[in-house]
Amino acid sequence: MSINLHAVRAIYLFELARTWRTLFQSIFTPVLTTSLYFVVFGSAIGGRMQEVNGIPYGAFIIPGLMLLTILSESIANASFGIYLPRFTGTIYELLSAPVGVAETLLGYVGAAATKSVILALIILATARLFVPYHIEHPFWALVFLILITVSFCLFGFILGCWADGFEKLQIVPLMIITPLTFLGGTFYSIDMLPQPWRTITLFNPIVYLVNGFRWAFYGIADVDIRVSAGLTLLFLLACIGVISWIFKTGWRLRT
């Protein structure tokens, strides 16, 4: 079955164009927020904690800070991208057009993932202004970045289909994802936690994302890197399965 590339291109470019219309909100605000984290945590905690597992504290928190922004932005971009057509009623034009699930995902999720990857690279460049660092496995860092970004864009797409109001678009990112990210080893190694908190933390799925990404940067991780990659792939496939079911049944799309 061939893919309608014209449809993919139209959706993709339309979603990217929305980013340039809201450039300050889409790019500058997350970068400014991340810079403040570097200033506050790098100065306040870094002055007392020089190194973590042999890595300077300022460099140690870079992967976690990137994910803190990437996860929320990926969900927000993808959820708003599909929710807006539902809210305005233009979703029916998409459903009646010769556009399948693959074209829809490539367009909406591809655009959202592109925004998040660009934002991540800008944050990475910004981090150089605050602390020197070296990426030990640049290829795997890019693989993990794309894998995590696409996974949470797919998750955001599901949230955009589920939400029946703008306020619901913020519930999961603000009340679930952000707290789990803060508790997932963003600013510390979970090996520093006493028992039973270290064991409890292992039930936090964000721990495996942060450690997989940190391993790609510095070659260190608190959990098995194979488990991190496997869980991320499993989450991505689960999201694709849910979205396929949504389009097959029309759940929240045709009502």
pLDDT digits (tens, 9 = 90+) for 42-90: 666 766 777 888 898 889 999 999 999 999 999 999 999 999 999 888 8
Residue 251's φ and ψ, nearest 5 degrees, are: -55, 125
DSSP E strands in the chain: the ranges are 51-52, 55-56
- Token pair for residue 137? 């496995």
212: pLDDT confidence band, cut at 50, 70 and 90? very high
Q: Which two tokens stand for residue 198?
A: 């270290």
| Res 1: pLDDT | 55
Phi, psi of 66 (to 5 degrees): -60, -45
Predicted pLDDT of residue 254: 73
Residue 99 CA neighbour count, 13 Å, CB half: 20
pLDDT tens-place string over residues 145-170? 999 999 999 999 999 999 988 888 88
Give residue 180's pLDDT.
Answer: 94
| pLDDT over 70, % of the chain | 96
Q: What is the pLDDT of residues 154-210, one digit of tens each?
A: 999 999 999 988 888 888 988 999 999 999 999 889 999 999 999 999 999 999 999
- Mean residue pLDDT of the chain comes to 89
**pLDDT at residue 21 tops 80:** no
- Per-residue pLDDT, averaged over 212-216, amounts to 96
Q: What is the pLDDT of residue 46?
A: 63
Measured distance CA(44)–CA(84) in Å, rounded: 41
Q: Give domain limits for the chain.
A: 5-249
pLDDT for 71 equals 94
What is the model's pLDDT at position 255? 64
Quick one: pLDDT at residue 164? 87
| pTM for the whole structure | 0.92
* pLDDT tens digits for range 79-134: 999 999 998 888 888 888 888 888 999 999 999 999 999 999 989 998 888 888 99
Is the preceding omega at residue 196 within 30 degrees of 0, hence cis?
Answer: yes
Helices within 97-192 (DSSP H only): 101-127, 138-162, 168-172, 178-182
Q: 3-class DSSP state for residue 60?
A: helix
Three-class secondary structure of residue 22 per DSSP: coil
Q: What is the pLDDT of residue 53?
A: 86
Q: What is the pLDDT at residue 248?
A: 87
Contact call for residues 81 and 160 (beta carbons, < 8 A) = yes
Pairing verdict, β 51-52 and 55-56: antiparallel
Instruction: Reply yes or no on whether the pLDDT at 139 is more than 90.
Output: yes
